[in-house]
Chain A
Amino acid sequence: MAVTVAAGILAGPAFGHAKLLSTLPPADAQLQAAPKSLTLSFNENVRLAVLTLTAAGRTIPVTVDRSLPAAPQVSVSLPVLTPGKYQVQWSALSPDDGHVTKGTFSFVIVGSTAVPAGPAATFR
């Protein structure tokens, strides 16, 4: 009980360091066509460490270039994706304070043609 109360009082956003502002494609988006790339925008410079894309329990290979300099916006190219629900799991590192930021989001492709993704969603 005491632990539950303490957790309630102290609760807040997980890993409140570099903050994810938006993604492209947006979280929970229903896309008519498959995106060619995936972009994450932050409130400060980060280095993308890990990005895992899964669909129906299968991991889709995605290359993350860890040698890139820190930037507020990071992108990865995607292979040709087929219709289905995709889960994105990412983690990034802030070069200023060394803190880890991470999260997950998903999107759904209902069509099958690869075109650039739509406007970004905003995370609060």
Chain B
Amino acid sequence: MSVGLWDAAVIAAKTITYAATLGAAGAVFFLKVCGALIASMATSRIRYLVLCMALLSVFGGAAQILASAASMSGDAAGMLDGSLVGMVWQAGAGRANAIRALGLLLAALAVWSDRTSWLACLGAAAAATSFAWTGHARSLNPSVLPMLLLSLHLVGVAFWLGALAPLRLVARDGDLPRIAATAARFGAAAVFVVGALIVAGATLLWMLLGDPTALWASAYGRWVILKLALVAGILGLAAFNKLRLTPRLLAGDRRAVRGLRDTIRFELLLGGVILAVTATFTTMTGPPALY
């Protein structure tokens, strides 16, 4: 597999867009679920986080379109070629980016207006699921079920991975009862959400592979195995947080706060690698069921 400079740029922009969009959406979901438990200072920081991530997402999406045009032309001049950029925009990227930007705008406005409303969550969900409007799930025929499964998977990923940075902000404020209550509430909700995202992801994977042997017999399948191994790692860390650290936090053990901050840092790192791996194989390879 040969990756040129502009292909690498597409993958980098895609990774940033994934991380920023899911991060912004997840922070909104986090405020909805845990907002009543956290201090106003942390709430304010999380609102800034939503705003910064939303802006980064919009810039990342634009950079991905320009890098795709450069990848097709083979040089930077492609970014200035209006008809090439227009082709990328028309091939799904335009609609996905527009839905994402509108969703994030709605989410950011609603979050900053005061309490986190269902309107903010609707905007966050629209932004997180915008990736389903383009890509392999949309190419399956019929595409409605795969797109719904991918949307469910994306909302789940946003809820889980997007909550990590806000949770770490809460863990920094040093107020043990608040940290313990927030970690407990998030952990209780995450069990169902993560379960749903795994079921949706596994069903979609089955559709994209077409044949289980494609998991090891195709380049796409081998990338998926790498992703699943990384997901197993992050699930292990999440389980450690919920089953070991959260009970210690609830029991008033201050040392568990440092443990929580450290494991969240590793989860963030692993989450970033998972998104980069996903961006790489969805750009460079295609699922066997389609080709």
- A114 contacts B by Cβ under 8 Å: no
B284 proximity list for chain A (CB < 8 A): 14-16
Q: Are the C-beta atoms of B223 and A10 separated by less than 8 Å? A: yes
B84 proximity list for chain A (CB < 8 A): 49-50, 66
B 86-103 binary contact with A (CB < 8 Å = 1; else 0): 011011110000000000
Q: Are the C-beta atoms of A95 and B90 separated by less than 8 Å? A: yes
- B213 contacts A by Cβ under 8 Å: no
CB contact list, B70-94 vs A, under 8 A: 71-74, 78, 83-84, 87-88, 90-93
Q: Given A19-B291, A66-B83, A97-B138, decide whether A14 and B220 contact each other with a Cβ distance below 8 A.
A: no
A 13-46 binary contact with B (CB < 8 Å = 1; else 0): 1111101000000000000000000000001000
B 220-252 binary contact with A (CB < 8 Å = 1; else 0): 101100100000000000000000000000000
Could you tell me the dominant secondary structure of chain B's interface residues?
Answer: helix
A4 to B93, CA, bound (A): 33
For residue A94, which residue of chain B has the nearest CB? B91
Query: Which of A9, A52, A96, A98 has most chain B Cβ within 10 Å?
Result: A98
A14 proximity list for chain B (CB < 8 A): 1-2, 284
Query: Which of A12, A13, A43, A91 has most chain B Cβ within 10 Å?
Result: A12
- B219 contacts A by Cβ under 8 Å: yes
- A7 contacts B by Cβ under 8 Å: yes
Query: Which of B10, B74, B136, B284 has most chain A Cβ within 10 Å?
Result: B284
- A100 contacts B by Cβ under 8 Å: yes
- B15 contacts A by Cβ under 8 Å: no
B 258-291 binary contact with A (CB < 8 Å = 1; else 0): 0000000000000000000000010111100001
A92 to B2, CA, bound (A): 17
A13 proximity list for chain B (CB < 8 A): 1, 219, 285
B 127-168 binary contact with A (CB < 8 Å = 1; else 0): 000000011101100000000000000000000000000000
- B68 contacts A by Cβ under 8 Å: yes
A7 proximity list for chain B (CB < 8 A): 1
B222 proximity list for chain A (CB < 8 A): 9-10, 12
- Least Cβ–Cβ distance between B63 and chain A, in angstroms: 15
Q: Are the C-beta atoms of A96 and B220 separated by less than 8 Å? A: no
Q: Are the C-beta atoms of A98 and B286 separated by less than 8 Å? A: no
Query: Which of B73, B283, B286 has most chain A Cβ within 10 Å?
Result: B286
A102 proximity list for chain B (CB < 8 A): 71-72
- Known contacts A10-B1, A98-B91, then 4 further A-B pairs from the complex at CB < 8 Å, ordered by chain A residue: A10-B222, A16-B219, A66-B84, A66-B87
6 A-B pairs whose Cβ atoms sit less than 8 Å apart in the complex: A10-B219, A16-B284, A16-B285, A66-B84, A96-B139, A97-B135
Interface residues of B, Cβ cutoff 8 Å to A: 1-2, 10, 68, 71-74, 78, 83-84, 87-88, 90-93, 134-136, 138-139, 218-220, 222-223, 226, 281, 283-286, 291
The 10 A-B residue pairs with the shortest CB-CB distance, nearest first, are: A12-B219, A16-B286, A98-B92, A91-B72, A98-B91, A98-B134, A97-B139, A16-B285, A49-B72, A17-B286
